[in-house]
Structure 1
């Protein structure tokens, strides 16, 4: 399971490749990697470049540039690529578009669709209803810290979802709390 946090959990001064491998760096084979613990930077850079290309992040030219030089959308793209590269079971995205502009948010939604199309399940935590309805198969609605219901975007409107969240309306089959 991989998670992309709202705050991205990246080290701005490190390179894109270093951020993608943070905590799981590749070591050189043989004595250089085992005894001297040297990193296999070429392999890490090649892998990072391949994952970014897979997700269509071609705007990043230099895999060795510091993450702090990237735009918000590019940083989010690197975080999603890292999650997709190592999260073979589930990817959890916590408010991935919260601090992004319209264009960058679009790109992140495209990345979400792309990762999902590869067969990796995604849990998207978001308050942005248009984004949720655009990419979700099912929506788990919570109210007062508890799951209230599960709806399908194809069968409910955004207004219904917001009404359920705020308590203005109860979904079918849910009894009013005493």
Structure 2
């Protein structure tokens, strides 16, 4: 399994985005959902992005409908919801699976690089976060319950 930069994903507008374009950035990858108890974290994620983007942070949101069908919308609906309700300006991608046989290869890589509790390679719920250093290596995995503002010191340490 390769580095973060070797992957690509489809943006909400349907264009392929090479993750190599984020080389030398600190990246926070988050699996998101619009109808989840953690959905208000979009606001905190956007605040982190605004605070640190000029220093090299990028946040990448990957909507996922695998947990309680909490992301039922299509790409247009997801984008409109995030912008209207939370002012999201960080990059969002098309819906992906993060677990199972159809998991996006990026998430297979992230889970292998930073397993969860007891070495689990499954993502348990929406808003699991993976912090990636400027070298493309996964530094840390954060649980859905970890609020975005609690990640600030870890992010600052990499910037």
TM range (shorter): under 0.3
Q: TM-score, normalised by structure 2?
A: 0.28
Q: TM-score, normalised by structure 1?
A: 0.26
Identify the structure with bigger relative contact order (alpha carbons < 8 Å, sequence gap 6+).
2
Determine which structure has more spread, i.e. the larger CA radius of gyration: 1
